[in-house]
Amino acid sequence: MLKVLALIFMTIDHIGYYFFGIISDELYLACRLIGRLAFPIFAYLTALGYRRTRNLLNYCIRLFAFAVPAQFIFSYAKQDGGFFENMNVLFTFALSVVFITAFELFAHGNYDRLVKMEPLQETGEPIKLPWQFRFNLGFSMNPLPAIALGLLFMFLSLFAALHFETDYAAYGIITVFLFYLAMREEDRKTQFKQALLYQSFFNLIVISTSYLLREYYYILPRSEYLFKHASMQAYSVLAIFIIYKLPKRFIHREKRPATWQKYFFYLYYPLHVLIIVMIRNAFF
C-alpha cells in the first residue's frame, strides 16, 4: 500500500513538473506539494529494503542496473542534452545503500552483512580481546582500516551524489539514512517518534541553511535547486505520518513482495515520465 501511494504522489508531482507553464500556477503548486510526500516514502522503503535484503550486493547492483536505462528516458524528458546531467533518483537510492553499508563498516555494526567479527585468539577466559573483521569474501581487515574505509565510502557516496547531481543529491542520501537509523528501534511507535524527530530536525537545518546561503548559492551550485525550494520540501515530513500511521490492515511488514511487485516500480518510474512527456509534446 505504501508503494502504491508513493507511485500516485510521484505521478502527480511529475505531471505538475513537466506541465509547468501549461497548467495554472495554483494547480502546479498543488501537484508539487502533493509530490513532496513521494520521496520520503520511497526513502523509507529503500532503508527497509536494505534491512530485509538477503543479498546486499545484489540489491545495490539492481538499483544501479535499473538506474542506467532509466537515465536515457530522463535525459530525453528534461532535454538537458547530456546523460550525466540531473541523474535520476535510482542513483540516489543506490548511493544510499552504499552510504549505509559504509556507515555500518565504520560503526562496527551489521557484521553478518559484509563482515564477521572474530576474536584474534581462542580463549575460555571472560576477558576483552581485540577483534578483527573478516570479510565474507575471504579476506580479513583490522578495525582501524575498516573505520577508514567506511568513512571513505560515506564521503564518496555523498560526493558522487553532489557531483553527478542525482535527484535530491546528498539530501536524499541523508533522508534514507535517517530512516535507517530510526528502524534500529524495535518498537514501531518509537520508530515513528525517532523518524519524525530526525527528519524534522534535518529539514529545519536545510531550511535554515537555505536562508543563510540565499546570496551564495554558487558555493554549492549543485544544491541550488534544493536550497531554493527548501520550504516546499519541508512538507515531506508529513509523509512520516502516512508511513507509520496507516491502518494495520495496510501494513504487511513480514510479507515479502512478489517478484513482479519488486520490479514494477523500477519499470513504472521511467515509463510514466516518458508517457507524460510524450503527451505534453503531442498536444501542447
pLDDT digits (tens, 9 = 90+) for 174-213: 999 999 999 988 888 999 999 999 999 999 888 887 777 6
Give alpha helix (H) positions in the chain: 2-18, 25-35, 38-52, 56-78, 89-106, 111-114, 143-163, 169-182, 188-212, 224-228, 230-233, 239-245, 259-283
Following DSSP, what letter does each residue of 204-273 receive, concatenated?
HHHHHHHHHTTT-GGGSGGGHHHHHTHHHHGGGGGHHHHHHHS-GGG--SSPPPPHHHHHHHHHHHHHHH
What pLDDT is attached to residue 140?
58
Q: Which three cell numbers stand for residue 112?
A: 553478518
Q: Residues 244, 92, 12, 27: is their CA dihedral positive or negative? A: positive
User: Where residue 21 falls among pLDDT bands split at 50, 70, 90?
Assistant: confident
pTM exceeds 0.85: no
Distances (CA, A) of 164 to 90, 151, 170: 13, 20, 11
The Cα–Cα gap between 36 and 53 comes to 27
Q: Which three cell numbers stand for residue 2?
A: 505504501
| CB of 98 closer than 8 Å to CB of 153 | yes
Using DSSP, state whether 115 is helix, strand or coil. strand
What pLDDT is attached to residue 98?
94
| CB of 153 closer than 8 Å to CB of 101 | yes
Reply yes or no on whether the pLDDT at 95 is more than 60. Answer: yes
**Domain that includes residue 124, residue range:** 2-283
Q: What's the number of domains the chain is made of?
A: 1
| CB of 253 closer than 8 Å to CB of 187 | no
Which range among 73-77, 80-84, 278-282 shows the weakest confidence by mean pLDDT?
80-84
Q: Which three cell numbers stand for residue 129?
A: 580481546
Quote the crossing angle between the two packed helices 89-106 and 143-163, to the nearest 10°. 160
Reply yes or no on whether the pLDDT at 221 is more than 70. Answer: no
What pLDDT digit, counting tens, does each position of 243-274 carry? 998 766 555 554 566 677 778 888 999 999 99
Using DSSP, state whether 183 is helix, strand or coil. coil
